[in-house]
Structure 1
C-alpha cells in the first residue's frame, strides 16, 4: 500500500484516510508492512489526524521481544537505528576478560564504570507485555436494529489495555447483519468475558456476542 511521501503532510493525510476503518496496514495484527510504513514517517502525526496518530503510537509501543513473538524481524520502533547502534558498540566495548595485570588504575576505573552501566542497562530491559487480537461477532435483535448505533455503543466501552480496531457488517440472513469488530487487549488488564458482558449490557441493541477469532500476539 503506497501513500506517497510520508514525510509530507499530503502523505500523512492519505495514511490517515486509509486507517480510518483499519487498525493495521495489512490484516488484523501488526506486520512487517506496519514497520516498513512506520520507518517512513519522520514524526508523530498531529492531533488533527487521529487515525494516523493512533496507529503511530500503537506501533511505537511494541518492543523487540513483542516483534519477535509475531515473527517480525528488525529493530523495535522504541529505539532509533542510531540508539541501537550505540548500544551495540557499548556492549562491544565491555571486555569481561581483560587482564588485571595490564590495567593501570585509570583503565580499571573506566572498566568498572562500563560494567556498572552495562548491568544497569540490562536491568532496565522492558518487560514483555502479553496481548491478544480478538474478533467479536455482535448480533442484533432483528433487521430493524440501528447497526450504526450498535457499533457506537460497542466502541463506547473503554478499558485500560483495550484498543478497538476495524469493523464491518456481515450478513446473517433474512436481511439481518451482525457487527464483526476487532480489538487488541493486554491480557493482564482486560478480561475477555468481562468485555463480552459489558457489550451485552446494551440490551436494546445487542442480542448476543460471540468470539469469532482469538490470537495471542
Structure 2
C-alpha cells in the first residue's frame, strides 16, 4: 500500500516539528536535515510556517557544508530488498520517482512520533507578558488615586491589572503612577492598544511609557 501526503501537509507537519527542536533528530545537523533541506528547495513562507522557515535559514547558513553532513546508514542491497518485501512503501510527496526506501521509512516514523508527542502534550499554557506602565500626570494637582482607578477600569480580553499601583517621586513634590498588568500575548497584539486608551484620559495623563516587559 502506498500513502501520499501533499506538500502543504508535509510542510505543516515539519513546521510543528521544529516548533520545539532545532534539527530533525539529535542536537546537531545531520544528513536527515540535508535531505529535508534539499526536498524543500526554497525557503518556506516565514509568516505561514515560521518554525520551518527558521530551521531552513539556519541550515542554509551552513552553505556548502550541508552536502557534507554525515550520511545516514544505507542498508545493503539484500537487506533493502528484504525490507521492501516486509514493509509498506511511503511516498510523502506522491511522486512516482524511485526514492530511498529506508529514508522514507525514517521520515514516516518521525512524523508518527511527532504526532503522538503532540497528542499526549495537549494544548500548552497561554503565553503571557508582565508589563510595567509608567504614567506621568498632566499636572502636579492631578488626583493620582482617581487616575489609578480609571486605568484599572480599562477592560480588555486578555488583560489583568495588578491589585495596586505605586506612586513614584519625579521632582518638586510631583509624583507619577507606575502600575503592572499581565497580558495574554495571543489576545493583545500590541501594548499600544492599552497605552492609547490610557492617553485618552487627556485631562489626567501627560504621557505613558513602558518601563519594563517580561515574559512569564
Per the normalisation by structure 2, the TM-score is 0.43
- Which of these two proteins has the greater Rg computed from alpha carbons? 2
Per the normalisation by structure 1, the TM-score is 0.43
